[in-house]
Amino acid sequence: MSNHKRAFMRGLFGVFGVAAASSGVQAQTSRTWSPVLEPQDNWLDDTPARHRQVFDTISPDGVARALTFTYTFYAANKDGYGLEPRDLAVVWILRAGSTAFGFTDTFWSKYSAGLAKRYKVIDPVTKSDAAINIYNAADRANLLPTNGLTFDTLARMGGRFAICSVASRKLAVALAADMGGSADAIYADMMANMIASARMAPAGIVAVNRAQEHHYALCYAG
């Protein structure tokens, strides 16, 4: 082998050696990495539950699906494992197109015209645009594809909700444009009229991230 070829091969293997070493460092770093848990997220650990599940929703249909999935999660854990609701930590995330369902009938009735324009949700009783939060109405529960579960029922079972602040503020701006008034005042109404066991998260996508860092299994309902 010529001197030129020997020099080329030494250089080539040297590059491979550096790449392998770099890959080894990256793999080691990946294996040892763990998230820094922020104190603002401690609420995710305020539970003695044996299992943790987070449901991510971004649309009205996703809310209905997630209620069905949540019902099944509780029922199957009861039937298959003898587990009670207290043994299960359930967190819901309401963001993007599901954000408004984090608020009570008081909010829905006050801003029903703007919400109807944006959400196009039909009340199964009146057959017209919803002026209440239909997924939290006991008298509508059996008329919806949700296995009869409402937010209030879920809250009584220990379920908790994180509402996207970013989407809420955008919705407040849109409702102010549709109906007049101040976006800040509408956002204040949101804060005063959250469904039971709900909190405002800095952003829904942040809540998705933090829940998984706190060992909640993710179910995306759409």
Q: Report the alpha-carbon distance of residue 32 to residue 42 in Å, rounded.
A: 23
Contacts of 184 (CB under 8 A, 6+ apart): 172
Neighbouring residues of 173: CB distance < 8 A, sequence distance ≥ 6: 183
pLDDT on residue 28: 54
Q: What is the mean pLDDT of the chain?
A: 91
Phi, psi of 119 (to 5 degrees): -105, -25
Say whether pLDDT at 20 is over 70: no
Percent of the chain with pLDDT over 70: 86
With cut-offs at 50, 70 and 90, classify the pLDDT of residue 13.
very low
pLDDT of residue 31: 83
- Tell me the per-residue pLDDT of 43-55, one tens digit each, with 9 for 90 and over: 999 999 999 999 9
Q: What is the mean pLDDT of residues 111-133?
A: 96
Tens of pLDDT, residue by residue over 139-196, are 999 999 999 999 999 999 999 999 999 999 999 999 999 999 999 999 999 999 999 9
- What is the sign of the dihedral through the CA atoms of 59, 65, 67 and 73? negative
What confidence tier does 3 reach under pLDDT thresholds 50, 70, 90?
Answer: low
- Identity of residue 182: S
**pLDDT in the model for residue 26:** 54
pLDDT at 30: 58
Q: How much is the average pLDDT of 112-123?
A: 95
Least confident piece of the model among 23-32, 82-91, 118-127, 153-162: 23-32
